[in-house]
């Protein structure tokens, strides 16, 4: 919550940087990058126009006024360069006017900015969207009018992946006759709070290829379809002892 206990209205905004100095430094870097891109694009444009000019000169007949051709090419190049300059001028202006509000792929804050009247408060909602089972952290800075320093808000979270479990982890199937087909059943169950997608990792060992699974991939829900039974069939035409590990 942000609380305004003063007698005057204040504006707030969540920023990506702690100070205005850091914001301006970032903007300067972006503008310098834009200047380099503009120079490179202008050079390519001039080279392209020069190649077109040479091609037109070779293709034109003697009756065509060479001076008029040059003037036409100069006008076209001037127009293209002017359009390019306006494009980058517009982008630079957008960078200069950018408030550098807080942006993050994992954490979001709503609202990002607003106005607080005297003796009122507002609740900002932070949403955490982890993209994997990892630890995430970042800092947002609350900028309030008439306040010298921005207030830091440290955001941390731990992403939790899907939790699935097999009904058995190890199975001794004993002695099996050659070419005899034997079928077993195992279950895979979702024991977490999010949907689980499972898939059997390919196996290519001599005995591993003698196992056949009725289902090699699927989806386990949270409230429905939390559990699936998979039939495992073993039939081997070769002799020998084996120990196979199948990973999901």
* 22 & 79 share domain: yes
**215, 228: one domain:** yes
pLDDT at 169: 86
Summarised one tens digit per residue, pLDDT across range 31-70 is 999 999 999 888 888 777 666 655 555 555 555 566 666 6
Check: CB of residue 190 under 8 Å from CB of residue 196.
yes
**pLDDT of amino acid 130:** 92
Helical segments of the chain, H only = 20-59, 66-97
* 183 and 133 within one domain: no
Query: Are 87 and 51 part of one and the same domain?
Result: yes
In whole angstroms, what separates CA 122 from the centre of its chain? 30
Number of domains present in the structure of the chain: 3
Q: Are residues 80 and 44 in the same domain?
A: yes
Last residue of a domain, one of 159, 184, 200: 159
Whether 247 maps to a domain, the answer reads: no
Residues 105 and 8 in one domain: yes
Same domain, 22 and 78: yes
Q: Which range of residues forms the domain containing residue 10? A: 1-16+101-159
User: Does residue 143 sit within a domain?
Assistant: yes
> What is the spatial distance between Cα 18 and Cα 35, in angstroms, rounded to a whole number?
26
**pTM, full prediction:** 0.65
pLDDT of residue 175: 86
131 and 36 co-located in one domain: no
Query: 143 and 26 share a domain?
Result: no
11 with 85, same domain: the answer is no
CATH code of 197's domain: 2.60.40.10
- Contact partners, residue 131, CB within 8 Å, separation at least 6: 105, 106, 159
- The closest alpha carbon to 137, from 170, 159, 166, 165, belongs to 159
- Evaluate whether residue 239 is within a structural domain: no
| Residue spans of the chain under pLDDT 70 | 49-70
Q: Is residue 115 helix, strand or coil?
A: strand
Q: Do 126 and 112 have their domain in common?
A: yes
């Amino acid at each position: 919550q942000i609380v305004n206990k003063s007698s005057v209205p204040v504006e707030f905004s969540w920023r990506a940087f702690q100070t205005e100095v850091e914001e301006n430094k970032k903007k300067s870097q972006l503008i310098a990058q834009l200047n380099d891109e503009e120079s490179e694009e202008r050079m390519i444009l001039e080279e392209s126009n020069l190649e077109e000019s040479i091609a037109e000169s070779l293709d034109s007949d003697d009756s065509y006024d060479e001076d008029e051709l040059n003037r036409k090419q100069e006008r076209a190049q001037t127009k293209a360069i002017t359009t390019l300059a306006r494009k980058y001028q517009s982008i630079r202006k957008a960078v200069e006017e950018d408030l550098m509000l807080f942006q993050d792929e994992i954490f979001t804050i709503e609202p990002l900015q607003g106005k607080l009247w005297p003796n009122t408060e507002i609740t900002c909602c932070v949403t955490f969207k982890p993209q994997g089972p990892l630890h995430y952290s970042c800092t947002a800075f609350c900028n309030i009018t008439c306040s010298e320093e921005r207030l830091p808000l440290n955001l941390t979270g731990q992403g939790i992946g899907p939790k699935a479990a097999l009904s058995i982890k190890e199975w001794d199937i004993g002695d099996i006759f050659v070419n005899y087909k034997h079928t077993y059943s195992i279950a895979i169950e979702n024991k977490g709070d999010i949907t689980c997608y499972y898939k059997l990792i390919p196996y290519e060992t001599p005995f591993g290829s003698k196992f056949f699974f009725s289902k090699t991939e699927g989806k386990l829900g949270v409230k429905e379809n939390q559990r699936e039974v998979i039939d495992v069939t073993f039939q081997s035409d070769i002799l020998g002892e084996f120990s196979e590990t199948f990973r999901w």
